[in-house]
Structure 1
Amino acid sequence: MTSNKKLGLTTRILIGMGLGITVGMFFNLLTDSGQNPLALDLGVFTFSVKEFFVDGIFNIGGQIFVSSLKMLVVPMVFVSLVCGTCSLNDTSKLGRLGGKAVGLYLLTTAIAITTAITLALIVSPGVGANLTADVNFTAKEAPSLAQVFIDMFPTNPIDAMAKGNMLQVIVFALLFGIALALSGTTGERLNTLFSDLNVVIMKLVTILMNLAPYGVFCLMAKLFTTIGLGIIIKLSLYFGLVLAVLFIHALVVYPVLLKMLTGLNPAIFLKKMKDATLFAFSTSSSNATMPVTLETATKKLGVKNSIASFTVPLGATINMDGTAIMQGVATVFIAQAFNVDLTVSDYLMVILTATLASIGTAGVPGVGLIMLAMVLQQVGLPVEGIALIIGVDRLLDMTRTAVNVTGDCMVSCIVGKSEKEFDANVFNNPAAGTEAESVDFHHLHGSSEKA
């Protein structure tokens, strides 16, 4: 425990990530020849050290960590949104919040895919590949935009919570919070209960954050043992280009928008996003990272809970900037690889389709590939081309998630500042939120948390 006090959470996560990658690549290199030199023949059975660690300890540890994060998502979103909605003086404010948040998310998505297509046309990652459609890929069918709006309203809110349907949970929490605010003394009593529950849930998030280095180690060790390093070399130009555009979007586009619309210091913002982006990178899931994202937005960036409790879950559901970047580069790559010429109107259609699809496919499993299939079909490209890039998509997906989470917090800051629901002192305080990252497990009753 003493070492934990000396090292910050970010440092410990980075150490866990580095060790995990090293161990994973060690196992990967040992078995790269197709043999298993770490298998011991004990006569009755064969004991595989690799399977014991990779499929056993690393897999179990990583899955438990991700499952623990997902466990908190629904109760955290519901309780936090109810508290945030109930605290609004004017319920019509929700309309403004929704309009600003959705508008900003669509704007950043359009910028992302436009940048991706432009740079892909300049770099030309697929020129010379001369491929034919002899590979197979079957994408799930995406629901229509009308059906998505219909499905936002739950027939059974308990079922929506059990299935983790975030749009339905958000809608029910908003309606429940409004009803609570209109219920007088009864609502005030329940609001006090929800406020206390919110404090307890955020403390659960802190506990999991302290266990994150071990979970991240297991996830990285498992991933880098199984990932095919050879295919990354073959698709190095595509891989590098997507990675470059993701970094440009996170480190240039977001800071510029933040500075232009709020006047806040982008360097402070990016520095305070470290923990959330590391969580997002290791879990590759915006939903699983949501508890950490919300804590970062409220405790470190100074966004009031009444704003962040709405914008963060909404962003985790519909903000697809990272995916849009992959779609832009992948569209150009597949078109060039199959020698298909696309016109300017085709690329404009790609931008429009991908931007609107970021809402239309919200909450659908495998959303990135579904959206890419829709885009390819829209401009007459072979959907089978998706199979060419699946091999490197896992690593890119991790980076995309980190970019998306950064976008969620950036939009939260802009909306919070515009609604005067933002604490600049918290934002400018480098130590804000860090005191809540440590947990003294030896003195459980000695660390009371204020509401």
Structure 2
Amino acid sequence: MSNPAAKAPEQGFELVTIRLPVVATFVALILGLALGVAFAGGGIAQWVQDVVALIGRLWLRALQMTIIPLVASLLVLGIAQMIAAARAGAAAIKFLALVFGVLIAGGLFTALVMPLVLQAVPIPEAASGFLSEVPEGEQQVPGILDFLASLIAPNMFAAAAETAMLPLTIFFALFAVAIAKLPKAQATTLLGFFHALANAMLMIIGWVLWVAPVGVFALAFGVGLRSGGGAFAALAHYILIVSAMGGFILVLAYLIAWALGGVGPLRFARALIPAQAVAISTQSSLASLPAMLDSSNRLGLKPETSEFVLPLAVAIFRATSVAMNLAVALYVAALAGIEIPVALVGIGILIAVIISIGSVSLPGSISFVVSIGPIALAMGVPIEPLALLVAVEMLPDIMRTLANVTMNVAVTSVVDRGDEEVAEA
């Protein structure tokens, strides 16, 4: 019999906490677009446009330079954390199976439904202004044979220089598994190194994001000049489409609680109201943990189960990550006119699942860049538009947190029910 009362595995590391100017960045986006629209008909010197464009370009490059080292370190730490969780017993194994099942289901849903949604509700033409910073030639999608040959890189440093995310992800995932097989002292040393590297990169990206209002304003100003007032409609379209993909996970949580957890939809909905209210107001799964524990108690779940599963879920499970992160990458691909082959969409889902495990509860603005950048790069999609889309992430993030919190309690009900069945047997 599993022992859900066992303590969640010790994490062994804690990442630095960064508070970001989210509201200021959003305001800068709106002001930049508004001023760009105001001057779209002329009346501003070319040298001013060039200086503003340079500021935006430099900020974008500063954002990009941290992606690979941060992804590498977080991937190693996240997979090490997942392996430690798997060793906690049968309840943890069942939880992890649910985690991967939900993440893959979200990716498949987005891959199948997103193209249909974009056909029914096309991206506004004004959105093309978001692509001005994309260098020519970066949007090429590799052929299948070229893709297969790129799975293994003979030189990791060369792969990093070329931002070849797929072989880098494979390498560091294998590296994390290898670390778990080492003697404890050696494993602790290596994990300590990646812990320090992750914290250093988080500090750097935190500094970059602290000046995000300046960089986003500069980029948004250029978009406003090129797109006019249609840029606002384009952003609204993006927010609704991406949030809809997260809505699937929210609905799926109710279905899982009902079909696998034995909890009726109405009862589940009533019990989740307090946790969902906290999720919407704070946009933080960690801050919602006490309310999730309360909701689990309202559902009659055993305290030892919820006290084991929910903290573990907050640490390594972001239910909406694959569905919504893949949606962002596919949206940018459609924006750039790129057709992604089915095989590469599958790779995008795989990368999204692996990166999701390695994002270890980062703030929304950081996880947006770190999680979506590798997916886009692996599929040959330009990542430059992410620098502007990160400014509106605070809105889709409401759906992310709401669905994540709801799914966390849903999978807890499944683990709790499974443990009861084992006990009865």
TM-score interval, smaller chain: 0.5 to 0.7
TM-score normalised according to structure 2 size: 0.55
Q: 2:22 maps to which residue?
A: none
Once the two structures are superposed, the pairs formed by residues 41-440 of structure 1 within 5 Å of their partners are 94-124=88-118, 125-126=122-123, 128=125, 129-130=127-128, 132-134=131-133, 144-145=172-173, 233-250=233-250, 252-297=251-296, 299-364=297-362, 366-420=366-420
Residue 246 of structure 1 aligns with an amino acid whose one-letter code is G
Change in 2 beyond 3 A, CA 1:307/1:378: same
Change in 2 beyond 3 A, CA 1:387/1:33: closer
Q: Verify the 8 A CA contact 1:340 1:381 in the aligned structure 2.
A: yes
Hey, what's the Cα distance between the residues in 2 that align with 1:114 and 1:239? 20
Residue 354 of structure 1 aligns with an amino acid whose one-letter code is A
TM-score normalised according to structure 1 size: 0.52
Q: Verify the 8 A CA contact 2:271 2:295 in the aligned structure 1.
A: yes
Please give the per-residue CA displacement for 1:146-178, whole angstroms capped at 9, x wherever unaligned.
56665998959xx9xxx9x9xxxxxxxxxxxxx
Aligned residues: 273
User: What SS is found at the alignment partner of 1:353?
Assistant: helix
Q: 1:85 maps to which residue?
A: none
Change in 2 beyond 3 A, CA 1:329/1:382: same
Residue 100 of structure 2 aligns with an amino acid whose one-letter code is L
Hey, what's the Cα distance between the residues in 1 that align with 2:233 and 2:314? 31
In the TM superposition, what is the alpha-carbon distance from 1:246 to its structure 2 partner? Answer: 2.3
Q: 2:207 maps to which residue?
A: none
Residue 416 of structure 1 aligns with an amino acid whose one-letter code is D
CA RMSD of aligned residues (A): 4.2
Hey, what's the Cα distance between the residues in 1 that align with 2:390 and 2:134? 12
Hey, what's the Cα distance between the residues in 2 that align with 1:319 and 1:93? 17
In the TM superposition, what is the alpha-carbon distance from 1:391 to its structure 2 partner? Answer: 2.6
Residue 107 of structure 2 aligns with an amino acid whose one-letter code is I
User: What SS is found at the alignment partner of 1:340?
Assistant: coil
Q: Verify the 8 A CA contact 2:261 2:410 in the aligned structure 1.
A: no
Q: Which region of structure 1 is more displaced relative to structure 2, 127-136 or 321-330?
A: 127-136
Hey, what's the Cα distance between the residues in 2 that align with 1:327 and 1:242? 8
Change in 2 beyond 3 A, CA 1:355/1:329: same
Q: Verify the 8 A CA contact 1:126 1:335 in the aligned structure 2.
A: no
Q: Verify the 8 A CA contact 1:319 1:358 in the aligned structure 2.
A: yes
Change in 2 beyond 3 A, CA 1:410/1:146: same
Hey, what's the Cα distance between the residues in 2 that align with 1:385 and 1:33? 18
Change in 2 beyond 3 A, CA 1:368/1:103: farther
In the TM superposition, what is the alpha-carbon distance from 1:307 to its structure 2 partner? Answer: 1.4
User: What SS is found at the alignment partner of 1:345?
Assistant: helix
Change in 2 beyond 3 A, CA 1:286/1:315: same
Change in 2 beyond 3 A, CA 1:271/1:364: same
In the TM superposition, what is the alpha-carbon distance from 1:97 to its structure 2 partner? Answer: 0.9
Hey, what's the Cα distance between the residues in 1 that align with 2:281 and 2:176? 29
Q: Verify the 8 A CA contact 1:272 1:300 in the aligned structure 2.
A: yes
Q: Verify the 8 A CA contact 2:262 2:417 in the aligned structure 1.
A: no
In the TM superposition, what is the alpha-carbon distance from 1:127 to its structure 2 partner? Answer: 7.0
User: What SS is found at the alignment partner of 2:301?
Assistant: coil
Q: Verify the 8 A CA contact 1:307 1:421 in the aligned structure 2.
A: no
Identical counterparts, % of pairs: 23
In the TM superposition, what is the alpha-carbon distance from 1:374 to its structure 2 partner? Answer: 1.1
User: Tell me, which stretches of 5 or more residues in structure 2 are unaligned?
Assistant: 1-29, 36-85, 136-162, 199-216, 221-228
User: What SS is found at the alignment partner of 1:302?
Assistant: coil
Q: Verify the 8 A CA contact 2:326 2:375 in the aligned structure 1.
A: no
Q: 2:203 maps to which residue?
A: none
Q: Which has the larger radius of gyration?
A: 1
Q: Verify the 8 A CA contact 1:232 1:239 in the aligned structure 2.
A: no
Change in 2 beyond 3 A, CA 1:309/1:107: same
User: Tell me, which stretches of 5 or more residues in structure 1 are unaligned?
Assistant: 1-28, 35-91, 166-226, 423-451
Please give the per-residue CA displacement for 1:322-342, whole angstroms capped at 9, x wherever unaligned.
222221221211001111111
In the TM superposition, what is the alpha-carbon distance from 1:401 to its structure 2 partner? Answer: 0.8
Residue 323 of structure 2 aligns with an amino acid whose one-letter code is I
Change in 2 beyond 3 A, CA 1:273/1:340: same
Change in 2 beyond 3 A, CA 1:98/1:272: same
Hey, what's the Cα distance between the residues in 2 that align with 1:241 and 1:386? 16
Q: 2:149 maps to which residue?
A: none
Change in 2 beyond 3 A, CA 1:93/1:123: closer
Residue 113 of structure 2 aligns with an amino acid whose one-letter code is L
Change in 2 beyond 3 A, CA 1:279/1:334: same
